[in-house]
Amino acid sequence: MPVSQANWTKPGATLSHKNACKEFGIEESEVIEAIRQGKLQHKENYAHGNPYFRLLRDEVENFVKEIYGEETMKMKKIEYEIKKTKTEINSYKRKIVALERQMQNLTQRKSEIEK
């Protein structure tokens, strides 16, 4: 099952085991067990001194299909994208409120100077 080094360096081809759990709705213990069984290749990395496993996205997708079926995998990916989109929308809403507040303050300061 060895994959060429190029697959580890392609943008979007890898993800952390934590993100795999979020994105595909699987448990961390399932990922660890799949690594032990040789179903998932991994590389150990560190972020701020904390270890995590980097996995190949294609292998994780195939693993989830094998365990839960293709329909469940597709549904989990869609649910994850919906959640991510909602988060982004809410972030933009907060930015708009802050910008509107800033615009109001600037307009008020401008009118005070004009007096």
Range of the domain at 22: 6-114
Residue 106 inside a domain? The answer is yes
The torsion angle over the Cα atoms of residues 6, 77, 70 and 26, rounded to 10 degrees, is 90
Residue 4 pLDDT: 61
Residue 42 inside a domain? The answer is yes
Q: How confident is the model over 36-64, as a mean pLDDT?
A: 94
Percent of all residues in the chain with a pLDDT value above 70, rounded to a whole number: 96
Q: How many domains does the chain have?
A: 1
Residue 3 pLDDT: 55
Residue 2 pLDDT: 54
Q: How confident is the model over 33-52, as a mean pLDDT?
A: 93
Residue 94 inside a domain? The answer is yes
Residue 105 inside a domain? The answer is yes
Residue 1 inside a domain? The answer is no
